[in-house]
Amino acid sequence: MAETSDTILAIRGLKVDFTTPDGVVNAVKGIDLDVRAGETLAVVGESGSGKSQTMMGIMGLLARNGTVGGSAAYRGRELIGLPPSELNKIRGAKVTMIFQEPMTSLDPLYPIGRQIAEPIVHHRGGSYRDARKRVLDLLELVGIPEPERRIDSYPHELSGGQRQRVMIAMALANEPDILIADEPTTALDVTIQAQILSLLRMLQQRFGMAIVLITHDLGIVRHFADRVAVMRRGEVVEQGSTAAIFERPSSDYTKMLLAAEPRGHKAPPLDSAPIVLEGRDVSVDYQIGGGLFSGGHRMFRAVDRVTVRLREGQTIGIVGESGSGKSTLGRALLRLIPGAGYYRFGSTDISGFDRARMRPLRREMQLVFQDPYGSLSPRQTVGEIVTEGLFVHEPSLSKAERDRRAVAALTEVGLDPEARNRYPHEFSGGQRQRIAIARAMILKPHLVILDEPTSALDRSVQGQVIELLRRLQDSHRLSYIFISHDLSVVKAMSDYVVVMKDGRIVEEGETAAIFESPREAYTTSLINAAFNV
Amino acid sequence: MSFVLRRLASAVPTLFIVVTISFFLMRFAPGGPFNLERPLPPQTMANLMRTYQLDQPLWRQYVTYIGNAVTGDFGPSYVYKDNTVAELIGKGLPYSMELGFYALLLALIGGVLMGTVAALRQNSALDFSVMSLATIGTTVPNFVVGPVLTLVFAISLSLLPAGGWGDGSLRFLILPMIALALPQLAVFARLTRGSMIEALHADHIRTARAYGLPGRVVVVTHAMRGALLPVVSYLAPCAAALLTGSAVVETIFTIPGVGRYFVLGAINRDYTLVMGTVILIAIFVIVFNLVVDILYGLLDPRVRHD
Amino acid sequence: MTDITAPPLQGTPKTRSRSLFQLALIRFRRNRAAMAGCVILLLIAMFSFLGPLFVPHTYDQVFPSYVTIPPSLEPRPDASKLQDAIEGVAARARVRLDSFAVEGQSFTATISADEPIDPRATRYFDRANEFRDTKVDSSRDNGRTLMLTGKVDRDYFVFGTDTNGRDLLVRVMLGGQISIAVGLLASLVSLGIGVLYGATSGYVGGRIDNVMMRLVEILYSLPFVFLVVVLVVFFGRSFILIFLVIGAVEWLDMARIVRGQTLALKRREFVGAAEALGLTDWQIIRRHIIPNTIGPVIVFVTVVVPKVILLESFLSFLGLGVQAPLTSWGALISEGANNIQSAPWLLIFPSIFFVTTLFSLNFVGDGLRDALDPKDR
């Protein structure tokens, strides 16, 4: 690779290995990368591509069982193999990092001001008192309101976005040459994501540092990076200018990633289609705090008088940020949690139904969860998991018949039926989500509530799961309620969109109408943030 | 402040229930304080019962007891006839508390240091030896440790006195202190090691390292403080147990503390003495729980009260 | 992403399918300390329960002539003692002892006298404690010299004897039986109460949970030694009651752990999925909650067993343990501690077994915790 004069970090033949009980895992297999002064380099890859481990290796932050080899030279100075005391002169001063989890990346036991001051004091000397002025300036700079008051706050007293701003302030404290941002926005809501990214861009223009953005999200990259390196399985598949990568991707993998952005749209059902599920004025209250003797509990209204009507064959997308009440609404509609309001399933009024009376109806209405790791019991075989519904609703089924149904269900979701003798931990995230879908589909339900079914998956896998869900909908005339914070997926999946905020519906309407001409400012900000307009 | 008051208020019913349970449990046990091997003449027995108001209905005894206990009167001891329970406890408690305090310091400081060192050198020979010592500490009962210490240091080497309080100087305290502290030291070492290893894997430790903070700062200011939280939690039951004396250690080293009363009282059916010690221990447990809660709040801003 | 700790997992499912339990077993087998602990525990259990079959003495058999003798691999009485004894016998029978040899459990002796010896002289030999069944094998010199054979009662006291003259080896075996049995049974009792209480409290939740946990809190501030002592005084000192009583006070931690587990499981999505499928509470508890709490519960049992054994030994130290002539390791150790200067073996042998057992249990517990640790998923 041609090393230009403005290259400040030259990575050559970098390897990262992990020693595990099952042998050595080569996480990074000898990659070359250059970071030039003042540029933004995006390192893109799915989970397991080695994109984070590359940077961790350079920064000397690998886990105990990790080793790093090859070369990484910062302004001609070799970083690999440097003793920690020498490396400490560079990291935190010349090269700094921000991480994905702003919640856990800050020490919960110290005020943020002190944590920002720490690298200043250690790299520049002086006392914490001297550093205070600079910390206040930094907090101001990263847009923390009332820095004088916030400087003594603890991380748990700040929101996720604010914490990430604090991390950025800490990263800027010593005016670094390179800022490594490891998935800086992944854990944040879309609107916050956009704010953080524009903050980073503003700061880059002001201080001229290079940014290495590690991300799985191609959407961010297009508008933010100068150059892109695509990584897969520990190797750099392709690198070049952002424009070139997006317009003329050369590797199949990059093409696949680009194509994996959810596409397509769904036609609304006929007006004559019968209503499958209706919830009118649905409200859900949670009790917070309050013990046996202490009393004084407060009620928190998670869902506030929401009305939803789902027709046969329809997909309603429910969109909102964390805490908007969208998941709670989904569970309330299935009568899994108590809620006020009027509920109707088909022509049956189910408002007053208790758990026992709901039970026979359960086979008609199913739920698929976000976390494919948590939603499958680790101690059951896939076969047992998938047939669990039959065990409840068709207990008279013979063993052979149950097995036959399991084979059919697994085949339908695109899994090898052999899977039914294995355990969930042997499968990848996408495969597990297919298992969870098979568990719902084996009962031949009329309606499925999909609670962030693709959010925990890589983009390329997301696309496959969406395709599967569409196919199932067509072949079984299913109705979906699709709950997601990811507007691009909702746009592709649903024909009707409900935007929620703080437990209320902000706006609703046909998908096309909502996305093309949103009426509410909140909807607009969500759409702008999601599509990086 | 109001947090402290609230906690104290909620401690009252706990204490009350503890006292009630103990009172009735004790009374329903067969045999009484005066059931000796040779039965007393009925007349004497009746007199004794009257003197100690044991002829009254149980509920009245209970009410009387509670009423007196509130004013700090725990009644006369049935077996140590010349003393009230309050006197016995008042006499013995300072000894037990002094010994227990030293043992607590030894266990806490020694355990935390050993645990930290073991965590920093995880899976090394040092780690292994520290953890072996901790395992020995938890598995060898202190009625073995006590006599062995006596045999080695007092009898064979004649370095230290074999028992007794003497003039209360440190020489007399060393052996019982070690016997008392060893099991707790082992617990502290294990706890510290475990939570320290976990703390060193936390994300914010990675942040501190990524910002070039020296290893010493990372360990001491960032990892250690978080790692000490579980240690602090264990401090309450441990302090309560050590400061209220140990029947075993006080017996082996003939220390005039309160630890022995508990067992002697129960064996002799000395109702009032047992009740006195139960209340004493319960108060210690409750008070130390409160102290630890406050300490915890100081260490961890997330649970800070008010 | 927690890249710093977790290296990326790659690869497709292997062809051979293994359940989590099997994986845990494989990890456990790899842990050498834990496996060694298992083997040692097994050996100690065999020693305690099968050992008595191979030792001719019983645990309550008193040997008045061997009180507090130190351990030795030599049989008792030893050669010089027997020599003294036979010389005494010869003197009493007024014969000369020409030769004397002991082999195993029998002896041969040659006696002679100036006059022919009455064969009934063998009675003198039988009269001594040491010799039995003395017979005249052959005679020479017209009966002036007799070759005698007979049996010698020789006992092995590999561990020595206690202050009452009982074989310590058998006592240690019996102590092991009782300590192990108390440890296991009391742990089972605490397991039963704890799991039932904890699972109910955690699953039902709400106000009932609050009340149930409040009770546990109160019981925590009740000095548990007191409970044990009172209960033992209350019920008497029989073996069954001792483990019941210990189990009855050791369930608090178990209840807390199971409750915590249940609460955590209740929030897991697979329980939510089971509810959405229409499973009843009982079906959820049976199919999802219990199988998933087993791991931590097993680990905790390995912590409770040594704790219980220690507690029993503490009771024995206070004189509240099982009653003589029955014994436990704890009782033996406390007896030994009292005689530490005069008869250190009384402390050493039971302590070795006691400490080795607890050590092994510790390693097995650590191994199980590592093997079942859900973090590696």
Mean pLDDT of the region A153-166: 88
Q: How far is B112 from chain A (nearest CA, A)?
A: 19
Say what the pLDDT of residue B295 is: 84
Residues above pLDDT 70, as percent of chain C: 91
Q: Work out the end-to-end distance of chain B between its first and last CA atoms, rounded to an integer number of angstroms.
A: 8
Q: Count other Cβ atoms within 10 Å, centred on residue B86.
A: 17
Task: Choose among A61, A183, A363: nearest Cβ to C4.
Answer: A61
Compute the average pLDDT of residues C82-106.
Answer: 81
Evaluate whether the domain defined by A261-290+298-364+447-453+478-533 bears CATH number 3.30.390.30.
Answer: no
Q: What is the CATH number of the domain that holds C125?
A: 3.30.1360
Q: How many CB pairs under 8 A join B and C?
A: 114
User: Which of B35, B70, B105 marks a domain boundary?
Assistant: B70
Residues B205 and B63 placed together within one structural domain of the fold: no
CATH code of the domain covering residue C216: 1.10.3720.10
- Residue C20 lies inside a defined structural domain of this protein: no
Using one digit for the tens of pLDDT, what is the confidence trace for B73-96?
A: 888 887 777 888 888 888 889 999
- Local confidence band at A291 (pLDDT 50, 70, 90 cut-offs): very low
Determine if the peptide bond prior to A417 is cis (ω within 30°). no
Q: Is the pLDDT of residue C50 over 60?
A: yes
Distance CA A292, CA C216 (A): 14
The answer to whether position B75 is within a domain reads no
For residues B176 and B297, membership in a common domain is answered with yes
Kindly report the average pLDDT of chain C as a whole number: 80
pLDDT digits (tens, 9 = 90+) for B30-68: 666 666 656 677 787 777 777 777 777 888 888 888 888
Q: Report residue A288's pLDDT band, with 50, 70 and 90 as the boundaries.
A: low
DSSP 8-state class, residue B76: B
- Count of structural domains within chain B: 2
Residue C48: which H helix or E strand, with range? helix C32-50
Position A296 scores a pLDDT of 52
B112: domain CATH number is 1.10.3720.10
Task: Point out which residues pair with A298 in neighbouring strands.
Answer: A288
User: How confident is the model over A212-220, as a mean pLDDT?
Assistant: 85
pLDDT for A96 equals 92
Do B22 and C226 make contact, defined as CB atoms within 8 angstroms?
A: yes
Q: Are residues B136 and B241 in the same domain?
A: yes
Is residue B138 in a domain?
yes
- The pLDDT value recorded for residue B38 is 63
Range from A127-131, B45-49, B210-214 carrying the lowest mean pLDDT: B45-49
Question: Given an 8 Å threshold on Cβ–Cβ distance, is A156 in contact with B213?
Answer: no
Q: Phi-psi region for residue A98, left (φ > 0), alpha (ψ -120 to 50) or beta? A: beta
Q: Which of residues 297-356 of C touch A (CB under 8 A)?
A: none
pLDDT band at B29 (very low <50, low <70, confident <90, very high): low
- Helix ranges (H only) for A211-339 are 218-224, 242-247, 252-259, 326-333
In the CATH scheme, what is the homologous superfamily, with its name and number, of domain A1-94+178-188+208-259? P-loop containing nucleotide triphosphate hydrolases (3.40.50.300)
CB distance from C7 to chain A under 8 Å? Answer: yes
Strand A275-288 to strand A298-311: parallel, antiparallel, or no bridges (unpaired)?
Answer: antiparallel
Q: Which residue has the higher pLDDT, A392 or C23?
A: A392
Instruction: Tokens 């979701």: give the residue.
Output: A413
Q: What is the pLDDT of residue C14?
A: 42
Burial class of residue A274, CB neighbours in 10 A (0-12, 13-18, 19+): exposed
What pLDDT is attached to residue C373? 62
> Model confidence over C143-153: pLDDT tens digits?
788 888 888 87
User: How many percent of chain B have pLDDT more than 90?
Assistant: 10
Contact assessment for residue A191 and residue A525, using Cβ atoms and an 8 Å cutoff? yes
Neighbours of chain A (3+ CB pairs under 8 A): B, C
What's chain C's length in residues? 377
Query: Looking at the predicted structure, is the pLDDT value of residue B306 above 70?
Result: no
Q: Is the dihedral of CA A235, A237, A240, A245 positive or negative?
A: negative
Strand pairing category for A504-510 and A496-501 = antiparallel
Q: Which residues contact B246 (CB under 8 A, 6 or more apart)?
A: B142, B180, B259
Q: Is residue C12 one of the residues assigned to a domain? A: no
Residues 195-254 of B with CB under 8 A from A: 202-204, 206-215, 217, 221-222, 225-226
Segment A388-406, tens digit of pLDDT: 988 888 888 888 999 999 9
Whether B229 shows a pLDDT value over 90: the answer reads no
Residues with Cβ < 8 Å from B202, sequence gap 6 or more? A104, B223, B226
Is the same domain home to C209 and C329?
yes
- Asked whether residue C331 is domain-assigned, the answer is yes
Reply yes or no on whether the pLDDT at B268 is more than 80: no
ipTM score for this prediction:
0.78
Structure-token match 């935190």, residue found: A92
- Which pLDDT score, from 0 to 100, does residue C10 have? 38
Please tell me which residue of chain B has the smallest CA distance to A119: B211
Please tell me which residue, C127 or A400, carries the higher pLDDT value: A400
Domain carrying residue C346: 35-59+161-372
In this chain, the answer to whether the domains covering A1-94+178-188+208-259 and A261-290+298-364+447-453+478-533 adopt an identical fold is: yes
pLDDT at A3: 54
Output the pTM of the full model.
0.80
How far, in Å, CA of A124 to CA of B130, rounded?
39
pLDDT band at residue B301 using 50, 70 and 90 as cut-offs: confident
DSSP one-letter string for A410-423: HHHTT--GGGGGS-
pLDDT in tens, A432-464: 899 999 999 998 899 999 998 888 788 778 888
Average pLDDT over residues C270-285: 86
For residues C75-86, give the mean pLDDT: 78
Please report, as a single letter, which amino acid is at residue C238: S
User: Chain C partners of A47 at a C-beta cutoff of 8 Å?
Assistant: 1, 8
Q: What is the mean pLDDT of residues A510-524?
A: 90
Q: pLDDT (tens digit, 9 = 90+) per residue, C153-204?
A: 777 888 888 888 888 888 889 889 988 888 888 888 888 888 888 888 888 8
**Which of A12-16, B166-170, B293-297, C252-256 bottoms out in mean pLDDT, i.e. has the lowest?**
B166-170
C20 touches chain A (CB under 8 A): yes
Which residue of chain B has the CA closest to A293?
B10
